[in-house]
Amino acid sequence: MLTYEATLSSIGLGFIVIMGILVFLLPRKLALLPIIITACYITIEQQLLVFAFHFSAIRLVVLFSLLRLVIRGEVSAIKLNAIDKAIICWVIAGFVIYILRSQTSEALVNRLGFVYNSIGFYFLFRFYIRDFNDIERLLKLISIVIIPLSMAMIYEYSTGRNLFSIFGAAPGITEMRGNRFRCQGPFSHPILSGTFGATLVPILLARWFKKKNSKVLAAAGIISATIIMITSASSGPLIAYIFGIVGLLMWPFRRSMRAVRWGILVILISLHVVMKAPVWYLFSHLGVVLGSGGWHRSYLIDQAVAHVGDWWLLGTKDTGNWMPYALAIAPNSADITNQYIWEGITGGLLKMILFIIVIIRCFRMIGLSLKKVEKSPFAEKIIIWSLGASLFAHVISFLSVTYFDQIIVLWFLLLAMISVIGDSLNVRNGVIITVNGDESQLENFG
């Protein structure tokens, strides 16, 4: 017999029903709109517990969307590219290694959820986003959807009351730091809400260079995303915001990025040599300036390095001795505020490396795609570049937060958009494929 338990409020249930109906009624070009709306306006606390499986609102809407793909016959063949393969390997490693370490039914349920989120979200986006026009349309929809969200964040910042508390998870009274409210909206933490806004800004800024009639909507999206970041009152999102814009402004140096990357590496190594503490203690110095938990993030990396023998093979479930304090809800766990370290403790060094490979392949795909569209209009090229700038913002954000709520929708959406760009330009596995008449020429840009 099917057993289930609902933690859905009547408002949450109504919201999910409406999104489910929209999934099946909207045309394909708007099919992802319910997922974007759900990610922006409902907390993960709204969920169904079926047997031991937690189906949050966003998981349910994704399930409806997957069913639509099958029922409407909208599933199209996908030739796996380098990003797809890296993501699949990362998921397999995360699934197998975690279960080998824990060997419990709870671990199996946990990893099935991980597979559902990673493969389900990513490939759903891959099926629905087929070309550059789909990406353009989706970015326009996001600009519209986040406008009311930014207004709700302004209200929370002004009053200290979170409108999304009706959905659970989000507290009714907003946390304060100093004399500022740290707003989180529908997200599980202010840093996650701020990161959501910060990492959107580079892409929405690039839309400014499209047609004149799109500038008003682009400006509205940029302002809304910035408001979401500011009202979080968190330094991590602010740093990600700055680096995202810096990444976008690096456009004039796009042909010299290899030299830029080597230059950054040399600077970091030099700082590591001359500093009294390891280079990652730069976070601690930034924390003094920005008023955040910089020391915690620096010391966490320190402890991850010191305990590498405990987690490098199969990860570890006991990090309680890493820090001088532990989480009240999980005494055996440190507060892991670093996505890279989280990959390591949940799947060992292999999972961490595969996660980094996913990121590297995305950057590579962007670089190769830009070479392919060298003679295209600037408005198109800068959109591709902005995906890289947004990816860069995420890469920086991963140093200060672990993604654990609906922000993963934005992360997998970005990966899928980068992957689709490469496919639409016939960029595969490190080569650009150009076709002239009946001849195919492979140009390797190494």
Q: In the chain, where are the structural domains located?
A: 1-75, 81-446
Give me the sheet containing 427-428, strands edge to edge: 427-428, 431-436, 439-444
5: which 2 tokens?
A: 């338990």
Task: Return the pLDDT at 295.
Answer: 85
Q: Among 111-120, 164-173, 364-373, whose mean pLDDT is lowest?
A: 164-173
Rounded average pLDDT over 100-119: 94
pLDDT of residue 289: 52
pLDDT per residue as tens digits for the range 336-350: 999 999 999 999 999
Nearest 5 degrees, angle CA 111-CA 113-CA 118?
A: 95
- Residue 261 reports pLDDT greater than 70: yes
H helix or E strand, kind and range, residue 395: helix 378-397
Q: Which two tokens stand for residue 301?
A: 């990396």
Largest distance between two CA atoms of the chain:
68
Per-residue model confidence as pLDDT tens digits over 392-419? 999 999 999 999 999 999 999 999 999 9
As a whole number, mean pLDDT of residues 257-281 equals 89
Mean local confidence (pLDDT), 367-388: 92
Q: In 3D, which of 97, 142, 187, 106 has the Cα closest to residue 402?
A: 187
**CA–CA distance, 121 with 63 (Å, rounded to integer):** 10
pLDDT band at 107 (very low <50, low <70, confident <90, very high): very high
CA distances from 56 to 33, 50, 339 (A): 17, 11, 22
Closest Cα partner for 40 from 15, 64, 21? 15
User: Given a cut of 60, is residue 445 above it in pLDDT?
Assistant: no
In this prediction, what percent of the chain has a pLDDT beyond 90?
66
Mean pLDDT value across residues 21-31:
95
Question: In this predicted structure, what is the pLDDT of residue 383?
Answer: 94
pLDDT of residue 61: 96
Helix (H, G, I), strand (E, B) or coil at 289: helix
- Is pLDDT above 70 for 432? no
Q: Which amino acid is at 188?
A: S
Contacts of 149 (CB under 8 A, 6+ apart): 40, 41, 185, 186, 224, 228
Taking only the tens place, the pLDDT of each residue in 198-244 is: 999 999 999 888 877 778 999 999 999 999 999 999 989 999 999 99
273-312 residue pLDDT tens: 998 888 888 877 776 555 567 888 999 999 999 999 999 9
Identity of the amino acid at 442 = L
Q: What pLDDT does 446 receive?
A: 27
pLDDT of residue 173: 80
pTM above 0.75, yes or no: yes
pLDDT in tens, 177-192: 778 899 999 999 999 9
3-state SS string over 221-235?
A: HHHHHHHHHHHCCCH
Q: pLDDT at position 88, please?
A: 98
Q: For residues 33 and 24, what is the distance between their CA atoms, to the nearest angstrom? A: 11
Is residue 443's pLDDT more than 60?
no
- Residue 49 — φ and ψ, nearest 5°? -105, 105
Residues 6+ apart with CB under 8 A from 424: 130, 131, 132
**How far is the C-alpha of 108 from the C-alpha of 49, rounded, in Å?**
16
DSSP bridge partners of 431: 428, 444
Report, as an integer, the average pLDDT of 78-88: 94
* Phi, then psi, of 440 in degrees rounded to 5: -115, 130
State which amino acid sits at residue 406. Q
CA angle 53, 23, 405 (to 5 degrees): 40
Coil, strand or helix: which one is 400? coil
**Residue-wise pLDDT tens digits, 55-66:** 899 999 999 999
Mean pLDDT taken over the chain:
89
Please tell me which of 86-90, 287-291, 440-444 the model is most confident about, judged by mean pLDDT: 86-90
Among the listed residues 283, 163, 164, 290, the one whose alpha carbon sits nearest the alpha carbon of residue 234: 290
